Amino acid sequence: MSARLLRIDAQQLIRGARHPLIKAISEKKVRKEGTIGRFFEALVALSLQTYSHVNNAELSHFRTANGDREIDFIVEGDNAIVAVEVKSSASVDSDDVKHLNWLAKKYPDYNIARIIITAGQNAYTRSDGIHVIPAILLGA
C-alpha cells in the first residue's frame, strides 16, 4: 500500500528507486537498500511491535551518542534482551553483524541474543552465534 501511495511500481522497487519523501539515516544505507529496504524494515518493525506487545516486552532502537553504532531494534522482556538487525537482502556478511557483535562484547554480562531478520529463505545460526531468520518465519 505504501508503494502505491507513493506511486512507486514494482519495476521501480526492483531497480532500487528512492522516493524523495523517504529520508535516509545515512547515504550509505540509502545506496545499499533504497526504498524497498525501508518498506521491508517497516514491515518487520510492525511485526516486532505486535509480538513485543503480546509478550509484554518493550521495543526500542539503539544508537550510541556519537552515532557510530546502531542496532535497528532492541526487544526487552522478562530478563531477556534481543538485539535485532534487519537486512532486505537474503545474504548476511560480516559488515551486517558488526554492531551486533560490538554490543555483545560491550555488555557481556547481559547475555544478549542477537538476530538478523532477512528476506532470505533459510534460518541458521552463524559461527559467531548470531541467528539469521527469514522474515517469513516471524509469525510461524
List the pLDDT tens digit at each of the 140 positions of the chain. Answer: 776 667 777 777 666 666 555 544 444 444 445 677 888 898 999 999 999 999 999 999 999 899 899 999 999 998 889 999 999 889 999 999 999 999 999 999 888 999 999 999 999 999 999 999 999 998 76
Q: How far apart, in Å, do the first and last CA atoms of the chain sit?
A: 24
CB neighbours of residue 48 within 10 Å: 20
CA torsion sign for 127, 130, 136, 140 is: positive
Residue labelled with grid coordinates 511500481: 9
Who contacts 94 (Cβ-Cβ below 8 Å, separation ≥6)? none
Residue labelled with grid coordinates 542496532: 71
Q: Cell numbers for 1, please give them.
A: 500500500
Name the amino acid, one letter, at 130. Answer: I
Bridge partner residues of 80 (DSSP): 77
pLDDT for 137: 92
CB 77 within 8 A of CB 56: yes
pLDDT for 131: 97
pLDDT for 13: 66
The angle subtended at Cα 119 by Cα 3 and Cα 66, nearest 5°, is 85
Residue 64 carries which DSSP code? -
| pTM exceeds 0.75 | yes
